[in-house]
Each structure stands twice: as structure tokens, then as C-alpha cells.
């Protein structure tokens, strides 16, 4: 598996799947979630409402994931991953790892070859960026990749990108 760390707009990446830092409602929100819903178009919100009505009336649990088509995005799929609220949820590191691992597991089941992740939970959910990057590195180093050939960590800000590069590529 090839790992890339880039600064950019995840909604513009043409990959098999992108991951959305979703809230439990999966009905859109702020940050990455809002941007993905805006670019994907109204079909996404309608699809998510149908999922909620039929299968998840209480929403997606923290650490959980669902998959939808990409609709107007250049990516085929959107994997909606619910990360922890750092100062509210018990065991936020375990929940953050679960969001990444469950996203990768679902991608593997859909024969996804290329996938991009944003910095899950580091925005309004308050997860410290350096701690989050360390958890992501741990997941990427220990995960048993099968179908996935390329993982892109796509950060919107230079600060997030630099933190991730420092964590992933520091010399020991």
C-alpha cells in the first residue's frame, strides 16, 4: 500500500472512495462534512435520509461507518465515518481508531483500490491534531491491506498537513 499525505480539497479527488468526517446524523454539517454534502448534491442528503429512515433511526454510532454513492463527486463512493468528540466520549483513541479501521474494512469489502481520509475529529470535535495523527499512523502501520493500493491523507490546512508529515515521516 502506498501512503500519500497532501494538502487539498478532498471533494476534488478522483478516487474510488473518500471518507467523510460525518456526524452521527449523516445528514450534513460543518467542515469536511458540509463540503462533501454541498459538492455531492441533493441526492446525497436524500440517500442519507433514506438510510436513516430504513436502517439507522438513531444515526451512526461513534466509530461506525456507512457507505453511499459519490453522486456529483469525482469519487465513486463516500464512506461516512463518525469520529469521537474528544472531551465528551470515553476512550476517544479507541473510537478514532475504529472510525479509520471500519472505513478501511468497508472499503476492502467494496474492492476499493484508492481511498482518501480527512483529519477525522480534529475540527469542531476537538481531537488534538498531533494525537489524532499518531492514531492514524498506528492504524496505517498495523492494518492488513488487501485490495487497497493507495491511501491518501488529505488535509485542508497547511498546519494539519505539516503535523501529519512530521508524525508519519519523523526520523527515530
Q: Which domain holds residue 46?
A: 2-169
Q: In DSSP terms, which residues pair with 11 in a beta bridge?
A: none
* Cβ-contact 148, 3 below 8 angstroms: no
Distance of alpha carbon 140 from alpha carbon 132, whole angstroms: 12
Question: According to the model, what pLDDT value does residue 41 have?
Answer: 98
Three-state SS at 133: helix
Q: Which residues contact 67 (CB under 8 A, 6 or more apart)?
A: 17, 77, 78, 79, 80, 106, 110
Q: If you average pLDDT over every residue of the chain, what do you get?
A: 97
Mean pLDDT across 94-107: 98
Mean pLDDT across 128-146: 98
Confidence of residue 171 (pLDDT cuts 50, 70, 90): low
Per-residue pLDDT of 2-46, as tens digits, reads 999 999 999 999 999 999 999 999 999 999 999 999 999 999 999
Q: How many domains does the chain have?
A: 1
Distance of alpha carbon 26 from alpha carbon 60, whole angstroms: 7
Per-residue pLDDT of 53-93, as tens digits, reads 999 999 999 999 999 999 999 999 999 999 999 999 999 99
Q: What is the CATH number of the domain that holds 141?
A: 3.40.220.10
Among 125, 129, 107, which Cα is nearest to 116's? Answer: 107
Distance of alpha carbon 31 from alpha carbon 27, whole angstroms: 13
Neighbours of 109 (CB within 10 A): 10
Three-state SS at 142: helix
pLDDT for 97 beyond 60? yes
By annotation, the residues acting in catalysis are 33
E strands, the chain, are 2-7, 17-22, 65-69, 77-82, 114-117, 150-155
Amino acid at each position: 500500500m502506498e501512503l500519500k499525505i497532501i494538502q487539498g480539497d478532498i471533494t476534488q479527488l478522483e478516487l474510488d472512495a473518500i471518507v467523510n468526517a460525518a456526524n452521527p446524523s449523516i445528514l450534513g454539517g460543518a467542515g469536511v462534512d458540509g463540503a462533501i454534502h454541498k459538492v455531492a448534491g441533493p441526492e446525497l442528503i436524500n440517500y442519507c435520509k433514506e438510510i436513516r429512515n430504513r436502517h439507522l433511526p438513531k444515526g451512526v454510532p461513534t466509530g461506525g461507518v456507512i457507505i453511499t454513492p459519490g453522486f456529483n463527486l469525482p469519487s465513486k463512493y463516500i464512506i461516512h465515518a463518525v469520529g469521537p468528540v474528544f472531551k465528551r466520549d470515553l476512550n476517544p483513541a479507541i473510537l478514532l481508531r475504529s472510525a479509520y479501521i471500519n472505513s478501511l474494512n468497508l472499503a476492502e469489502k467494496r474492492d476499493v483500490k484508492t481511498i482518501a481520509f480527512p483529519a477525522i475529529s480534529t475540527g469542531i470535535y476537538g481531537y488534538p491534531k498531533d494525537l489524532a495523527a499518531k492514531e492514524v499512523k498506528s492504524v496505517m502501520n498495523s492494518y492488513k491491506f488487501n485490495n487497497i493500493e493507495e491511501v491518501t491523507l488529505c488535509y485542508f490546512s497547511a498546519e494539519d498537513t505539516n503535523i501529519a508529515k512530521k508524525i508519519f515521516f519523523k526520523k527515530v
